[in-house]
Amino acid sequence: ARSTAGASIDFTAIAPVPADVDALTVPPGWTWSPIIRWGDPLFDPAETFDVNNQTAQRQARQFGYNNDYTDLLMLPGKDGREALLVCNHEYTNPGIMFSETSDPAVLNRQRAVEMAAQGMAVVHLRREKAGQPWRPVVGSGYNRRITASTPFSVDGAAAGTASLKTKDDPAGRTVLGTFGNCSGGTTPWGTVLSGEENFNGYFHAAGTSPAEKRYGLADKESTYGWENIDPRFDARAEGYVNEPNRFGWIVELDPFSPKEAPVKHTAMGRLKHEGANVIVGSCGQVAAYMGDDERFDYLYKFVSSKKVKPGQGKAARAHNKTLLSEGSLYVAKFSGNSPAAEIDGSGTLPTDGKFDGTGQWLPLVVNGVSKVAGFTAEQALVNTRLAADAVGATKMDRCEDVQPSLKSGKVYVVCTNNSRRGTSGNEGATEVNPRNENRDGHIVEITEDRNDVRATTFRWSLLLVCGDPKTNPHTYFAGFPADQVSPISCPDNIAFDSRGDLWIATDGAPSSIGYSDGLFHVPLTGRNRGYVRQFLAVPAEAETCGPVVRDRDGMVYVAVQHPGEDGTWAAQNSYFPDYVADGQSAPAGSWRGPRPSIVQVYRTS
């Protein structure tokens, strides 16, 4: 293998880990510990986690379940010793969280716990000195839980419109809760954006209108059964038909302002938002890049109308928190530059040696005015997928994280997989989604024309076409020799380190290449561009989320989501991170089952 001298973090790549290994594997010379686990207390008086006596009230005072997007925001003036951890709690796994029951009263109590276990968390962290591991500050005034019942305000052109009004909120401007929060992004002004993703699964709807069908809202019992304890989740009911329209947004939370209600930004469109990541253009306006994580759905860009105010002062932050409230929403259309006949669906490179081409950002709403024939701005923002269908956007292989490099301005679009591409009745391979039955995913690199965040045209090429090169001849690592890289499949969340290198977290590798999911490093420039190396692997049945790489501090953070997700209460498949096995007695505050956790990884010496 080539030297990696000069990499942001010097590590020896780990070997791929078989999918059934229930361990967090880190490189030699590194170790890990949980910062905070599902059920750990956030508030005074702190109660010890007791999985057998869990209540909604307790859960709302504890760290939530299935942590996804994660970031650590340093508190100013504390020499790197204090930070705010912000994370999403995407969903719940009742089958492994609770003992089995068919008693409706017990089921309803469990559902109430789940409503309190989803959403978001803010946790004040402290450590002795920079470079050391962190501990939560229980009872800090910064600590916060956002649940399925927390009030949000709504802004943008669809706020207060008929589409958002319900019996409980006739003004259409106050929504209770957030859920399905997948990935996100931290803004240059120090707020956190969070994507409401699979919101359709929370509602029992009529499922008859074109919009309901397009968003997967159906006439069946919801995944979580919350309609049994809160009538607004039955969208067939009088007064609640619009309740699903109040989810599927990008939300913005200011962790430094613990009393402030988070905001849902309708100007950024409604879809199964994975997340949103912001870059400030040289013009001063900001762009947010966003993916809709569904097979054959689209890639979006939002450009603010207003310009950023520099600095983190009170007035600047107050202004910057309005930047995502008004602007223009675009959807991507890609064109390849190789003959269509050369894109055969196998992943074989075309004769020009690259999957590449040009693209356009097609306007949906510009400064609050619809650009789509037959759609008002309200309709284009609430039923964004229908508006994007109407303008002929490019169907993608499930866009997960979409993130601009703040070093280069290039945008990285993570297409996690699409096993249905090219199958009967579905669109086949195109140059930007070049494999049929794409199980391993790929990453698109976009360069805006003139490097202008406002550009409506761009160039693109594929950075990676993922897979295990030992068994798959059709992988691509930006031209780097495939026999030297770590096998990688189903890229999902990404982060950049201080050098601008890309770190890739995966979700789904066990079912495609048979290895555990993990975290991988890849340089984007120089002779090691495309040299993918694995840094860590997560425990059995978990996906790797976060990630956060603070190379100058020697710290890497990941959110370990849904460890042991296919187990049952009686037969758990993971014991991460407490590792209390069956038959052992659990120390106070732990138990014999998996706990989704935020993990810190650091050197032993």
Shorter beta-carbon distance to ligand FEO: residue 70 or 328:
70
Q: Write down the least CB distance from residue 248 to ligand FEO, Å.
A: 13
Q: Write down the least CB distance from residue 257 to ligand FEO, Å.
A: 27
Does 541 bind Ca ion (CB under 5 A)? Our answer is no
Instruction: Determine the interface stretch with Ca ion among 115-123, 344-352, 526-534, 558-566 (rule: CB under 5 A).
Output: 344-352
Residue indicated by tokens 């070093």? 407
Q: Tell the burial category of 223 from Cβ atoms under 10 Å away from its Cβ (0-12, 13-18, 19+).
A: middle
For residue 505, what are the β-bridge partners? 493, 519
Pick one of Ca ion, ligand FEO, none as the site partner of residue 338 (Cβ within 5 to 8 A by kind).
Ca ion
DSSP class per residue in 539-570 = -TT-EEEEEEEEGGGTEEEEEEE-TTTT--SS
Instruction: Determine the interface stretch with Ca ion among 169-177, 248-256, 397-405, 554-562 (rule: CB under 5 A).
Output: 397-405
Q: Write down the least CB distance from residue 197 to ligand FEO, Å.
A: 5
Shorter beta-carbon distance to ligand FEO: residue 66 or 304:
66
Pick one of ligand FEO, Ca ion, none as the site partner of residue 352 (Cβ within 5 to 8 A by kind).
Ca ion
Residue indicated by tokens 């008929």? 162
Binding residue for Ca ion (CB under 5 A) from 212, 252, 254, 492? 492
Residue indicated by tokens 């969903």? 91
Q: Write down the least CB distance from residue 69 to ligand FEO, Å.
A: 9
Pick one of ligand FEO, Ca ion, none as the site partner of residue 197 (Cβ within 5 to 8 A by kind).
ligand FEO
Shorter beta-carbon distance to ligand FEO: residue 82 or 274:
274
143 close to 43: Cβ distance less than 8 angstroms: yes
Positions 170 through 209 that interact with Ca ion (CB under 5 A): 182
Shorter beta-carbon distance to ligand FEO: residue 293 or 578:
293
Nearest one of 356, 334, 333, 359 to 449, comparing CA atoms? 359
Q: Kindly state the number of chain residues that form the binding site for Ca ion, as judged by CB under 5 A.
A: 10
Determine the Cα–Cα distance for residues 284 and 96; give it in Å rounded to an integer.
48
Shorter beta-carbon distance to ligand FEO: residue 442 or 533:
442
User: CA angle at residue 167 from 161 to 170, to 5 degrees?
Assistant: 40
- Interacting residues with ligand FEO (CB under 6 A): 90, 182, 197, 274, 293, 400
Shorter beta-carbon distance to Ca ion: residue 309 or 354:
354
Shorter beta-carbon distance to ligand FEO: residue 30 or 179:
179
Does 507 bind Ca ion (CB under 5 A)? Our answer is yes
Shorter beta-carbon distance to Ca ion: residue 338 or 430:
338
Q: Write down the least CB distance from residue 126 to ligand FEO, Å.
A: 30
What phi, psi does 599 have (nearest 5°)? -115, 140
Q: Write down the least CB distance from residue 274 to ligand FEO, Å.
A: 5
Nearest one of 539, 538, 556 to 547, comparing CA atoms? 556
Q: Write down the least CB distance from residue 136 to Ca ion, Å.
A: 25
Would you state the structure tokens that stand for residue 310, as one six-digit string? 């520099």
Q: Tell the burial category of 220 from Cβ atoms under 10 Å away from its Cβ (0-12, 13-18, 19+).
A: exposed
DSSP class per residue in 355-393 = -EEEEEEEEEEETTEE-STT--HHHHHHTHHHHHHHHTP
Would you state the structure tokens that stand for residue 168, as one six-digit string? 């409980």
Which residues make up the interface to Ca ion (CB under 5 A)?
A: 182, 337-338, 350, 352, 354, 356, 400, 492, 507
